[in-house]
Homo-oligomer: A and B are copies of this chain.
């Protein structure tokens, strides 16, 4: 259990020299002795690949062999672990990962999209080859949530997994509340600050966070990754009014991922939700991530940390590398891939309270018609507020409801009925209140 002078080094092939890749280089160069002591053997990069070998990266890469083709890197004789930090769920990242597994190399990846789309096939390939495929860096950056779920809580039947896992979305929502600036202004600010993916819909549309949720759900419930079954809704339609009204009633709006197994099947949602402002999720400000794990024995475990950035993501990559160096082997998703169940996808079925906002024509009986719709849908009302007239235009009245627990289907039905009353000035807003 100690570093023998003769212990074989673990040799890394690093594909991708962007922020995360350079972060890995820096940790390995700065802390070689410490990492070797922890890993029980030296850990060193032998070869790297990147699109442009001539780019100045402010790191000394002279000791490493270069490959222009990541597939060639993945197959090198002098590589034991292929570290994939390029990104993209097709093309070079996928080709090189598959090549590495076929060549019997361990793989460490930060690529949530790749695993969300091809996790099952890659896990089967890794397990058939008897090598590790690890992806701590793919979910919630520096927070070791994959390890916590697969190992730290392995004695639990998991009841629910929740997470705020896209820092850009949480930054936008937090700043909307703080500054009173609208979504579009803050979207532009994020674009200027470089907080957005090349395709911003990956962030604000909830896709990136949805990839992460699908991976957590697979581990939590022993099911095949099924990203296509994630109910996705981005933050683009969240208004300042809703943020303000939610705050007045003691809530905050978050882009919240929730996965839980109900009687009907596996629910996976990545949607805006209200959460109590005083809960850990409600108190999460800015770009930080949070994951909440609920197990039958352990109760609720909350983890909070940086979800992105050079250091945190490289920290997660290094944890996987050191586990491999220590000889830890476990199935990719915690149980063997061939034993993962095909999940029955359930559209959100778990009842919850809802926040409803609507603009009504200010005429006698309008509110009564809405209340009747709710009553007929079997939805009871916990709080009702009429917003003062200054905010409403002309003769309109803005009305807010917080309902008691209602099924999503009943809420949807009621929303349809509202339209038929003829008293709505615009489409009503309904946002789930997740009980955390």
Seen from chain A, the residues whose Cβ lies within 8 Å of a Cβ on chain B are 1-3, 23, 27, 31, 34-35, 37-40, 127, 130, 136, 142-144, 147-148, 150-157, 222, 278, 280, 283, 295-306, 309, 311-312, 314-319, 321-323, 326-331, 334-336, 338-339
Contact = CB atoms under 8 A, between A and B. Distances in A.
Contact of A2 (B152, B283, B317, B331): B331
A319 B152 contact: yes
A335 B38 contact: yes
A237 B281 CA distance: 34
Contact of A326 (B38, B299, B314, B329): B329
B311 A298 contact: yes
A142 B298 contact: yes
Give the copy number.
2
A188 to B, nearest CB: 27
B306 A31 contact: no
B37 A222 contact: yes
Nearest to A123: B1
Contacts of A327: 327-329
Nearest to A320: B155
Contact of A298 (B31, B296, B312): B312
B301 A305 contact: yes
A326 B335 contact: no
Contact of A322 (B37, B155, B157, B319): B155
Contact of A301 (B299, B303, B322): B303
A2 B328 contact: no
Contact of A304 (B37, B147, B301): B301
Given A147-B147, A311-B298, A336-B2, A155 B318 contact: yes
A27 B297 contact: yes
A338 B2 contact: yes
Nearest to A154: B322
A331 B36 CA distance: 13
A319 B155 contact: yes
Among the interface residues A222, A278, A335, which one has the most CB atoms of the partner chain B within 10 A? A335
A230 to B, nearest CB: 24
A34 B341 CA distance: 13
Nearest to A335: B37
Nearest to A149: B144
